[in-house]
Amino acid sequence: MSWLIAGTVPRADFPLVRGQYELRGAELAVAGRIVKVARGTPALLAAAAAAARVLGIPPLETILAGDTGKGEGSRQLYAELAANPPPAPIAGLTFHYLLPDIYWHNQVLWALEALAPKPFLVADAGFMYAAKMSGFAAIYDLFTPDVGEMAFLADERAPHPFYTRGFLLQDEERVPEQIARAYGEENAARHLLVKGRKDYVVAAGKIVAEISAPDVPAMEPIGGTGDTLTGLVTALLASGMQPEAACQVAARANRYLGFYAEPTPAHGVADLLPFLPRALEQALKEAEVG
């Protein structure tokens, strides 16, 4: 079954496109359009495509729109998905950078709820914000927040991560407490993959794994490495791997990506991609041994 990745690119001249896409070096090709790989949804798409090759699964599909922060492209994408959801059966969807819009989020969610079987739903970035704000977070199967976003999920009153109480502190020691609070307020998906100096894999409110090695501090200032993690877990889920295992393998692979690439802060995601196959293969090998 297919898997659809929905998101935006920061270009006002980029139209709504939909279909299979291909990774070509440091660029993505979709529906006759070329997108350079940097941070954001293009980074997620690139990581998912590179991982799909390693896993031997068919190319993933995407729906993209240009949006420079004004929301027009996001609303166009929301409307398209609400009116024309993927035909069933579809294995899953990953939602990424979209302007949070509760009305349109709900329209899309209801359209997907009508599919049988219900696809696996992953949300990150703006779409995760909308999912939490809508009150339907618990319907989702996986959220992939970073530490700041985890604080947002734990704060029942915050309308956006910028307004989270204590958001600027980003105290990683409080993550377990925030996980418990997010589930208590029904603001979390069935699974969480929390991205930070230590990655947490959570199922039904219980921390089932903590991944902290290899530790590559140089990865932290590189924009888009959280997006590559979401791309990795997307491809692993699309391959049929169970959520807990997919999250753990993705977290390790993303860390090995930095380990093998030996990046500096001047590196971008495109510079890391050549090392992704080796990183994923190492993480898969460790999962087999474990």
- Whether residue 118 lies inside any domain: the answer is yes
| Separation of alpha carbons 189 and 147, rounded Å | 16
pLDDT 10s digit of each residue in the chain, 290 long?
899 999 999 999 999 999 999 999 999 999 999 999 999 999 999 999 999 999 999 999 999 999 999 999 999 999 999 999 999 899 999 999 999 999 999 999 999 999 999 999 999 999 999 999 999 999 999 999 999 899 999 988 765 565 444 444 457 889 999 999 999 999 999 999 999 999 999 999 999 999 999 999 989 888 889 999 999 999 999 999 999 999 999 999 999 999 999 998 889 999 999 999 999 999 999 998 65
Tokens of 239: 């391959």
Residue 204 located in a structural domain: no
Residue 167 in domain:
no
Task: Return the SS3 of 53.
Answer: helix
Count how many domains the chain has.
1
Range of the domain at 117: 3-149+216-289
Which CATH number belongs to the domain containing residue 115 in this structure? 3.40.1190
- Report residue 176 CA to chain centroid gap: 21
Model's pTM, two decimal places?
0.95
* Count of alpha carbons within 13 angstroms of residue 214, beta-carbon side: 17
Count Cβ neighbours within 10 Å for each residue of 10-44 and write b for 16 or more, e otherwise: bbeebeebbeebebeebebebeeeebebbbbbbbb
Domain presence at residue 224? yes
Q: What are phi and psi of 132, to 5 degrees?
A: -70, -45
> Is the residue at 202 inside a domain?
no
Beta bridge partners of 3: 92
- The answer as to whether 173 is a domain residue is no
Q: Read off φ and ψ for residue 185, nearest 5 degrees.
A: -95, 5
| Euclidean distance between the first and the last CA atom of the chain, given in angstroms as a whole number | 28
